[in-house]
Amino acid sequence: MTDSNKQANNKINNKEKSSLLTFLYVGSTANGFSEDTRRVFIINLFASVGVLFTFPLGIVSIWQGKTLLGCSLLAIAVLYSLNHIYLRHTHNHKLSGDFVIYPLYILMIYLVYTGGVNGTGHVWVYCIPAVALFLHGMKRGLIELAFFTLALIFVMYFMDSRFSEFGYHETLKSRILFSFIVVVFLSGIYEYSMSRFNQELKETTTKLKLYAYTDPLTGLFNRRGMLQRLELSAEKSIYLLLADVDFFKRINDEYGHDVGDYALTQLAKIFQESLPKEDDLVARWGGEEFLIAVCGQTEFEVFEFAETLRQRVASYEFSHLDLRFHMTLSFGIAVMNNTTSLREAITLADNRLYQAKRLGRNQTCRA
């Protein structure tokens, strides 16, 4: 096979794979993989496998004159197909899971009671534990399985079922029961480890996201976190205030890096306390630079806010151990709106900050 043929085949295979996966994930609303997505996947997978088995078996049963059994199997096939459509439209995987599992419980009890085709009905009960635990989780799944086991005992031992008709040995009943409990146990272990794994994955992802978007020194958003928030913001106009500490190098040089770090954390606190609204944001943009984003204000109000903040910092006495010192800030302001993109606004704010520095520092520059 030539390379181009192989590539074409791979493309077709990938396409088939992706359309199958899309089909199995139909009804999932979550972005990325979550516990709910896993449940949706299991519902679709199980319902599809269910249709593939119940439909032909239903036809065969009707053909063999077992009308009731055949109709039950066909009813399940129809129900599972409709369930897929329901899940696709409503994304209600909880109810959809119930549509899969409860008819299955009833069908299994019916198969054990009647013996199914030539007394083979009981062999299907082993699919129950996995489906119940995967769909309903450990707690509810185990409770339902306990009830199902009781129903199984009742049907096998206390009802006038057709079990003995097929000449089974009495011990088969207890073997069915014990092997069923073993499968419940194994499925439980698997489900438990899967949910633990998913939970840990979720927690690790949350932690990693936090690390990725947070500045470790000040606890503020870092540049990545701020950009993400600004890009997702639905506000029509956001004012960006880029603030830079004047001659910060001197603080480090005179008092040491630790004192510099302390000054940056204090500044972060002052910025956070001073934000006009709860939705406003502040980030450590890098080094001794901070970016504040405020919305719902006029240009004049934003300028006034920057000036108040600048004066507040200028008059603030930073004190660390026995050291006392002052710092000043320079500000550059720009607005991000319909005509100015986020990147353009940041560049403008940066240019204006540079201008404030050139004009002598400790001041605010705007358009």
Ligand X SMILES: Nc1nc2c(ncn2[C@@H]2O[C@H](COP(=O)(O)OP(=O)(O)OP(=O)(O)O)[C@@H](O)[C@H]2O)c(=O)[nH]1
Annotated active-site positions, please?
Answer: 288
Residues 236 and 303: their CA atoms lie apart, in Å, by: 19
- The burial class, CB within 10 Å (0-12 / 13-18 / 19+), for 207 is exposed
Helix-helix angle 223-232:342-358, to 10 degrees:
130
In sign, the C-alpha dihedral spanning 299, 300, 301, 303 is positive
Q: What is the DSSP letter of 323?
A: E
CB of 268 to ligand X, least distance (A): 11
Does 247 sit near ligand X (CB under 6 A)? yes
Choose the stretch contacting ligand X; rule: CB under 6 A; options: 88-96, 164-172, 229-237, 259-267: 259-267
Chain positions 211 to 240 lying near ligand X, rule: CB under 6 A, are 217
| Residue of the chain from 264, 282, 291, 327 that contacts ligand X (CB under 6 A) | 264
Choose the stretch contacting ligand X; rule: CB under 6 A; options: 70-78, 141-149, 256-264, 340-348: 256-264
Length, in residues, of the chain: 367
| Residue of the chain from 17, 89, 209, 257 that contacts ligand X (CB under 6 A) | 257
Tokens 């791979």, residue located: 10
Which residue has the closest beta carbon to ligand X? 260
Residues 87 and 11: their CA atoms lie apart, in Å, by: 29
Closest CA to 93 of 45, 144, 165: 45
Choose the stretch contacting ligand X; rule: CB under 6 A; options: 80-88, 151-159, 197-205, 255-263: 255-263
Residues in Cβ contact with 210 at an 8 Å cutoff, skipping those fewer than 6 apart: none
Does 245 sit near ligand X (CB under 6 A)? yes
Does 350 sit near ligand X (CB under 6 A)? no
**Count of residues of this chain found to bind ligand X when the rule CB under 6 A is applied:** 16
Residues 334, 316 contacting (CB under 8 angstroms): no
Does 244 sit near ligand X (CB under 6 A)? yes
Identity of the residue, 191 or 288, whose beta carbon is nearer to ligand X in the bound complex: 288
Q: Contact positions toward ligand X, by CB under 6 A? A: 217, 244-249, 252, 257, 260-261, 264, 287-288, 357, 361
